[in-house]
Amino acid sequence: MLHRVLTAVLALGLAGSLAGGAQAQSPGTQDKLRPDQLKFREIYKELVETNTALSNGSCTAAAAKMGARLKAAGFPDSDIVYYSTPEHPKDGGLVAILHGSSKTAKPMLLLGHLDVVEAKRADWVRDPFVFNEENGVFYGRGTSDMKVIDATWVDVMSRMKEAKTPPKRTVKLALTCGEETLEAFNGADWLAHNKRDLIDAEFALNEGGGGRADKDGKVLTQGVQVGEKVVQQFRMETTNPGGHSSVPIRDNAIYQLAQALLKVRDYDFPLELNDVTRAFFAKAGAGRDDPMGRAMVAIAKDPNDKAAEAELNKDRGFHSMLRTTCVATLLDGGHAENALPQRAGANINCRMFPGDTMEGTKAQLDKAIADPGVKLIPLQPIRAKSTPAPMNPKVMGAFESVAAKYWPGAPVIPTMSTGASDALYLIPVGIPTYGVPGFWSGPEGSGAHGLNEHMAAKSVYAGRDYLTDVVKLLADTE
């Protein structure tokens, strides 16, 4: 989920960033691929063509296919753990373990969700669950979010096993389900609370990062997701005795709700910065020479700079990165066309800045609405407040040093996503989680969650090679 959010933010705000130097070249047609790239492509294709949507797909089936590939690479059955619950037999996943040689180095975890957003064939140009390659672009649901990373993790685990030289650090792989749907069984959450020892790690690599390229395919920036907001839903509701519509009065549940919604629309939560967003604005702004870039640098130095805040608020991505946000997303009301409404309601979707709580967010909304007749009801799940992962120099250093070889001059920028990922389940149980750089999209985006999702072959192969080098570097670094 997060890759699309981060790249959208970078697209909105980093169009003026410093361009990278010579780009790593990767072939985009099968006849030019190396043997190892062909094997990776097979994994990628198999994952995309395995439907893992909630309504009619199966993560359990996808996990079984990936487990078979790991077993063929030499993993014994004892190092591949499948899991599911009786209530959710199609939402299973797996954990695979590549044992390291060091007795002191702590494990690292590669995390990936297998599920994808629903895709209706009638709406797509191509079948969303057929892996298509046209003019150097791969099309299909999950090509971007996030089966390209899943395939990379399975591929690198397989190749490290086949090399028969164990890394210093134990490397674990967790393929999960349920990330794309709040109401679904979530495998990362289940593992964190039921099999914590199985996925224990010093840190985890996950989705959420990614790069932006210009219209010519030159990579401008690479981002590392180091923090994210937490989703909290509220039910806003008004009630009224109602009556006959032929004798209307001002005391109307729908009108009362509408007034409250306008107050939510007009309310800006206070500006907040943390170490991640301060570093993001300072580093990203330094690469620009325009009013927005100067405002980015200024806000990093002084969060009370109102002129800088006003400039940054012109950009919807930056506005969201600077605060908690709440927005109405669903609406209902009334019970008959000829009756005054007895009840009206709306869903308020909040994305809470790291450190903010449900209680604090609700209190601010209640104050802004200032109407005791408007009920604001917190909806489950109510999650713990988000805490950004520390900017571990070991991890960040690996991202930066390898990126310098692939995209010289393109900065690697830490960022806080305005969306959410499965990192929100791992960080509270003590596993810092980082959204990896590597894959990128251009100004047009990737279509993730939308129609005709796609990713350029050049991005796929270069991103896979980059992450392979990163994993190997971190696996041999104690």
Give the Cβ contact number of residue 284 at 10 Å: 28
> Residues of the chain with pLDDT > 90: what percent?
85
Tens digit of pLDDT for each residue in 347-359? 999 999 999 999 9
Mean of pLDDT values over 221-242: 95
Is pLDDT above 60 for 1? no
What domains, with CATH codes, occur in the chain?
Answer: 2-228+386-475 (3.40.630.10), 230-270+323-383 (3.30.70.360), 272-314 (no CATH)
Is pLDDT above 60 for 12? no
User: What pLDDT, on a 0 to 100 scale, did the predictor assign at position 22?
Assistant: 37
Mean of pLDDT values over 109-134: 96
Is pLDDT above 80 for 433? yes
Residue 197, judged by CB atoms within 10 A of its CB (0-12, 13-18, 19+), counts as: exposed
Do residues 376 and 234 touch, judged by C-beta distance below 8 A? yes
**153: closest CA among 132, 180, 171, 130?**
171
| Average pLDDT, rounded, for the chain | 92
Poorest-pLDDT segment among 16-25, 257-266, 373-382, 443-452:
16-25
User: What pLDDT, on a 0 to 100 scale, did the predictor assign at position 417?
Assistant: 86
Q: How confident is the model at residue 32 (pLDDT cuts 50, 70, 90)?
A: confident
Q: How confident is the model at residue 181 (pLDDT cuts 50, 70, 90)?
A: confident
The pTM of the full predicted model, rounded to 2 decimals, is: 0.86
Mean of pLDDT values over 217-223: 94
Q: Which two tokens stand for residue 70?
A: 């790991």
Cα(448)–Cα(149) distance, integer angstroms = 14
Cα(446)–Cα(91) distance, integer angstroms = 26
Q: Which two tokens stand for residue 182?
A: 């709040």
**6: closest CA among 456, 453, 451, 438?**
438
**152: closest CA among 162, 163, 140, 160?**
160
User: What pLDDT, on a 0 to 100 scale, did the predictor assign at position 351?
Assistant: 95
User: What pLDDT, on a 0 to 100 scale, did the predictor assign at position 179?
Assistant: 95
Distances (CA, A) of 242 to 235, 247, 284, 373, 377: 20, 10, 54, 15, 22
Mean of pLDDT values over 43-63: 97
Q: What are the φ and ψ backbone dihedral angles of 285, each rounded to 5 degrees?
A: -70, -30
User: What pLDDT, on a 0 to 100 scale, did the predictor assign at position 39?
Assistant: 97
User: What pLDDT, on a 0 to 100 scale, did the predictor assign at position 13?
Assistant: 44
Mean of pLDDT values over 321-338: 97
Cα(3)–Cα(419) distance, integer angstroms = 9
Is pLDDT above 60 for 21? no
Is the CA virtual torsion 383, 388, 390, 391 positive or negative? positive
For residue 146, cis peptide bond before it (omega within 30 degrees of 0): yes
Is pLDDT above 90 for 375? yes
Is pLDDT above 90 for 468? yes
Mean of pLDDT values over 206-217: 93
Poorest-pLDDT segment among 258-262, 388-392, 409-413, 456-460:
388-392
Do residues 324 and 356 touch, judged by C-beta distance below 8 A? yes
- Helix (H) / strand (E) element for 36: namely helix 35-48
Distances (CA, A) of 78 to 71, 96, 102, 164, 473: 10, 9, 20, 17, 26
Is pLDDT above 90 for 109? yes
**407: closest CA among 357, 454, 465, 453?**
465
Q: Which amino acid is at 239?
A: T
Q: Is 308 helix (H, G, I), strand (E, B) or coil?
A: helix
> Residues of the chain with pLDDT > 70: what percent?
94
Tens digit of pLDDT for each residue in 259-309? 999 999 999 999 999 999 999 999 999 988 999 999 999 999 999 999 999
Question: What are the residues whose beta carbons fall under 8 Å from the beta carbon of 410, sequence distance 6 or more?
Answer: 18, 19, 20, 21, 211, 219, 220, 221, 222, 403
Question: What are the residues whose beta carbons fall under 8 Å from the beta carbon of 424, sequence distance 6 or more?
Answer: 228, 230, 383, 386
User: What pLDDT, on a 0 to 100 scale, did the predictor assign at position 19?
Assistant: 32
Give the Cβ contact number of residue 72 at 10 Å: 11
Q: Which two tokens stand for residue 200?
A: 């224990």
User: What pLDDT, on a 0 to 100 scale, did the predictor assign at position 26?
Assistant: 43
User: What pLDDT, on a 0 to 100 scale, did the predictor assign at position 31?
Assistant: 66
SS (H, E, C) 119-152: CCHHHCCCCCCCCEEECCEEECCCCCCCHHHHHH
